[in-house]
Structure 1
Amino acid sequence: MTVRPLRDILAECMRRERYGLIRPLWADADDDSREEVRRRADHLIRILADYGVQMVRAGEPAPADTPAGPTIVANQVYAQPETVREVRVDAGKFSIVTIKGGETTVEQTFTLNDVMLNAGLVLSGDPAAKTIKDLGKQLAAVEEIYRLGAASAGGGK
């Protein structure tokens, strides 16, 4: 087995963190596109070194930890510094939740199947898509769910 350079591993992880698991996979990508991300990894390695942090290989890959809470992603709402919007998972479904001043409001709850049907309406140009309240938020939430590898948390039902 060939030992990969740390910069290559870090570059692949940075790409996956930003875009999720996309094609072409890292191993299938051409060297020019990989080199662009490797340069970003080199930059991050230099920044870490400025803070006294050094990356070293610790052995075999460790199994991924199961997330400890229901929140998949949280974002500050634009121009509302006291408001945060979260995508959460609970009981096999996903929710978009707004937290303002400590008060939580569930904006919508959906399954991945629900969203796939709604996305099909958008792609086919069906006028019914325009009647779905906050469809943009729903599609953006699912993009984050897939990008962060949390799709299996909702069970897809």
Structure 2
Amino acid sequence: MTIEEKLAELGIILPDAPAPAANYVPYVQSGNLVYVSGQISTDDAGSLITGKLGDGLETSEGAAAAKRCAINLLAQVRAACGGDLNRLERVVKLTGFVNSTADFIEQPQVINGASDFLVEVLGNAGRHARSAVSAAALPLGVAVEIEGIFQIR
């Protein structure tokens, strides 16, 4: 089954790759690695998923926001691959930032929303190294931002 077929089976439609909001590029390819800039949490309609974990947002809501970041990461990888997502060989590393209070300690469970989704879609090729860190604030008040490194062919 292709990656696009697996996404369709899961009912996931990748959005167009989001454009950068400032003076940077959405991804850089170096050799067979694609470095994708941080993707912020947005819903199916492209509206921001905002809030702070530990102050109004539950861990499960943060995990859902992280999954949306992973969907946006895949959209960027598809763009980097000229529209052919099957050129994706593996997820190498994710760095997840969680907008959270000082006493919130479930950042790994939040970023699991992205990690679990990528493994569900890609199998073993979705397994990756990862960091999950707290941030006092994120751009535009979003709940989660995730950047990634991907190996392509």
TM range (shorter): under 0.3
Superposition TM-score, scaled by structure 2 size:
0.25
Tell which has more relative contact order, 1 or 2 (C-alpha 8 A, sep 6+): 2
Tell me which structure has the larger Cα radius of gyration: 1
Superposition TM-score, scaled by structure 1 size:
0.25
